[in-house]
């Protein structure tokens, strides 16, 4: 049986891959329709914006998990191991607090949009549907920050970034 983390990983990878592919295909189709047939899909731009919102938010959460977010850790690397760990846990705690607040507010925002019953301008679907990407992405990001923080706390991980990436960069030099 697959673990919970495996389901999350598959959801993130498929959402990112399919979302990016579908958005690109719709955008390409719209360009061809405009230039070749002097017509277009009225809803294409709005659709692509919503798809990219999903891709970016889910991608940001996945980035936390795999450690690809930009980080400047030149100072952290020079700290003694105990202080380094405390600094990492402090930074992750700040991220958890921030993401937690944004996540909490986004849930309430979705509830308000749902109650209002507004439709999107071009797609004419309930507005809460594309906007639900915010709490989904924030929840995934919060989960990954909690996991990374726990791994650092128990000593399984010593950095927010994946060590293999640092090794690849060292090989290039």
> Would the pLDDT of 100 be above 70?
yes
Model pLDDT, residue 1: 62
Give residue limits of the domains in the chain: 4-172
Beta strands in the chain (DSSP E): none
Highest mean pLDDT among 61-65, 67-71, 74-78: 61-65
Q: Are 96 and 146 in contact (CB under 8 A)?
A: yes
Task: Write out the two tokens for 78.
Answer: 């020079």
| Helix 81-116, helix 133-154: angle, nearest 10 | 160
Q: Mean pLDDT over residues 41-61, rounded?
A: 95
> Would the pLDDT of 72 be above 90?
no
Q: Which is more confidently placed, 85 or 137?
A: 137
Model pLDDT, residue 163: 52
């Amino acid at each position: 049986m697959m673990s919970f983390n495996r389901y999350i990983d598959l959801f993130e990878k498929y959402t990112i891959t399919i979302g990016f592919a579908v958005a690109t295909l719709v955008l390409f189709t719209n360009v061809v329709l405009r230039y070749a047939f002097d017509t277009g899909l009225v809803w294409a731009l709005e659709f692509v914006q919503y798809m990219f919102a999903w891709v970016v938010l889910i991608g940001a959460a996945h980035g936390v998990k795999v450690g690809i977010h930009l980080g400047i850790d030149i100072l952290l690397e020079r700290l003694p191991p105990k202080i380094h760990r405390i600094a990492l846990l402090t930074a992750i705690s700040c991220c958890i607090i921030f993401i937690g607040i944004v996540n909490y507010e986004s849930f309430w925002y979705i509830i308000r949009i749902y109650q209002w019953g507004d439709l999107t301008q071009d797609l004419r679907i309930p507005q809460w549907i594309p906007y639900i990407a915010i709490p989904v992405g924030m929840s995934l990001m919060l989960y990954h920050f909690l996991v990374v923080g726990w791994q650092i706390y128990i000593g399984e991980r010593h950095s927010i970034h994946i060590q293999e990436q640092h090794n690849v960069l060292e090989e290039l030099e």
